[in-house]
Structure 1
Amino acid sequence: MLPLEQIARQALEMTDLTSLNETDTEQTIQTLCQQAAAGQTHTAAVCVYPQFIQTAKDALAGSGLSSVKVATVTNFPQGSTDLNKAVLETAHAVSDGADEVDVVFPYKALQAGDESIGLEIVKRCKLACGNQAQLKVIIESGELADTALIKRAAEICIEGGADFVKTSTGKVPVNATIEATRVILETIKASGKPVGFKAAGGIRTTAQAQEYIQLAQAIMGEGWVTPDHFRFGASGLVNDLKNTMGLAPTEQQKSNY
């Protein structure tokens, strides 16, 4: 087993440092981007609302972190069945420079028995991303709750061309869980397709991150668990990862979580 400090570094490199609050401002996002660095390494991405895409790109470039991707969210957080809205928001995000788009799957429609709208939204949003951005699809596994529904949502995402299947928006009572993660990873494995996985919401400690990493390694193989295939969506987690790495955040940084 790897030392905890090494696990923390691995987890940090696979984290999408996130701020999706109604109170976010340009200053909030600029500060967030400064927190993406950790010694000689950095997070995989920062995830912000669409209106802050350029702010994030400029802040990262100004901090020498241009290799950190900028992710954003669309059809968020409700997972509307409005196809045109989801596609238009995604197209605008890509046009504004997003490297990754996290679109919310219409999970309520799936619960009601409608699989077709979810598939169409994933397909069309993937087309909107083209070769410019990766598409992560948020299935809201905590709301789906039922194992069969979580599996079916993941299957639809994979069929539609998603680059990642993501657990949660972080805006509902139950977000990422080990149980849902297992179902999604096993579904990805069974598909044989190069689809990644993102666990989002509720993961706050290095020990919790380690549990997810070890599960992914057990199902997908150790070599698979890299930023290209595996992500955490988190904000507070980064503090604990940095502490584990011996890089305690400043008081100013602490105040922004």
Structure 2
Amino acid sequence: MTTRIASTADAARLALRCLDLTSLKDDDTPTSIEALADQARTPHGAPAALCVYPAFVPAARRRLQAHGLDAVRVATVVNFPRGEAPPDDVAAQIAAARDAGADEIDTVFPWRALQAGDAQAGAALVAACRRACGALPLKVILETGELQQPKLIRQASEIALREGADFLKTSTGKVAVNATPQAVELMGEAIRADGARAGLKVAGGVSTIADVQRYLALASAVYGADRLGPGTLRFGASSLLKVLLATIDGGPAAPAASGY
């Protein structure tokens, strides 16, 4: 079936299906994560996943199940946010997250090492994460706003894809510059060159329906409109949900707060 994204409402519906509803705040609590899970039950369907810190995976799972939202996946982050832990430590973090019930893993690429000329650090980290994840989807956060240079964004993308990333993700949401169309286009080019087998996650800085439409167009250029869905595209955000729901309902939508 062809995915139609001609209207803003269509774009919002698709983005809702592709949303990783996210809370990665220093003051998160089980109660606040339960409230996040409550938001996943909307009149227009559920998001693809909740993305929370590892400690809150069980709380997110329980609350989703209480709402009958078993299909909503629980994602968590490792090597987050700085991307500097040794591969063995990150693999141990993934093992603990799996034991806690996580369905998807978002790991931070060692972008500082790449800036310093060490490409092997990224390869070793992603390979270790791939082994530790097993069949769980692995999203690799490139922190494109810090890499900045197109050649480094492309190089990080190629390393992550070569070592088995299931998604390339723009950002942690913890830095000054997060997702940008330029970075997403570069990542998309690398994904397309790799056969478009991996997905794309746009995280941080997506705050309006115009942003959503811009990124949908970039993703469509990689996969074709008929392949757009949670298996190929994710938006990492929390406050964006209100914008999407308001757009679907046909009302005005104030821009969401940026970041997580």
Q: Structure 1 residue 117 and structure 2 residue 115: aligned?
A: no
Is the partner of 1:39 in helix, strand or coil? coil
Alignment of structure 1 residues 64-79 onto 2, 5 Å: 64-79=68-83
Q: Equivalent residue for 1:16? A: 20
Q: Equivalent residue for 2:254? A: none
Q: Equivalent residue for 2:218? A: 215
Q: Equivalent residue for 1:233? A: 236
* 1:81 Cα offset (Å): 4.5
Is the partner of 2:176 in helix, strand or coil? coil
Is the partner of 1:173 in helix, strand or coil? coil
Please say if residues 39 and 247 of structure 1, whose CA atoms lie closer than 8 Å, have aligned partners that are also in contact: no
* 1:163 Cα offset (Å): 0.5
Q: Equivalent residue for 2:91? A: 87
Query: What root-mean-square deviation, in Å, do the aligned CA atoms of Structure 1 and Structure 2 show?
Result: 1.5
1:180 & 1:188 partners in 2: Cα distance?
A: 12
* 1:247 Cα offset (Å): 8.5
Q: Structure 1 residue 168 and structure 2 residue 171: aligned?
A: yes
| From 187, 197, 201, the counterpart of 2:200 | 197
Structure 2 residue runs of 5 or longer lacking an equivalent are: 252-256
Is the partner of 1:238 in helix, strand or coil? helix
Q: Equivalent residue for 1:26? A: 30
Q: Could you report, residue by residue, the CA deviation over 1:142-162 in whole angstroms, capped at 9, with x for unpaired residues?
A: 000000000000000001101
Q: Equivalent residue for 1:137? A: 140
2:119 & 2:49 partners in 1: Cα distance?
A: 31
* 1:219 Cα offset (Å): 3.0
**Distance change >3 Å, CA 40–CA 186, structure 1 → 2:** same
In the superposition, the TM-score normalised over structure 1's length comes to: 0.94
Is the partner of 1:65 in helix, strand or coil? coil
Letter in 2 for 1:75: N
Which structure 1 residue ranges, 4+ long, deviate > 2 Å from structure 2?
Answer: none
Alignment of structure 1 residues 29-44 onto 2, 5 Å: 29-44=33-48
Letter in 2 for 1:204: S
Alignment size in residue pairs? 249
1:156 & 1:171 partners in 2: Cα distance?
A: 23
Greater mean deviation of Cα atoms: 16-25 or 90-99: 90-99
Is the partner of 1:101 in helix, strand or coil? strand
In the superposition, the TM-score normalised over structure 2's length comes to: 0.93
Q: Equivalent residue for 1:49? A: 53
1:210 & 1:2 partners in 2: Cα distance?
A: 9
Q: Equivalent residue for 1:187? A: 190
Q: Equivalent residue for 1:159? A: 162
Q: Equivalent residue for 1:106? A: 110
Letter in 1 for 2:51: C
1:3 & 1:150 partners in 2: Cα distance?
A: 31
**Distance change >3 Å, CA 81–CA 30, structure 1 → 2:** closer
Please say if residues 81 and 117 of structure 1, whose CA atoms lie closer than 8 Å, have aligned partners that are also in contact: no
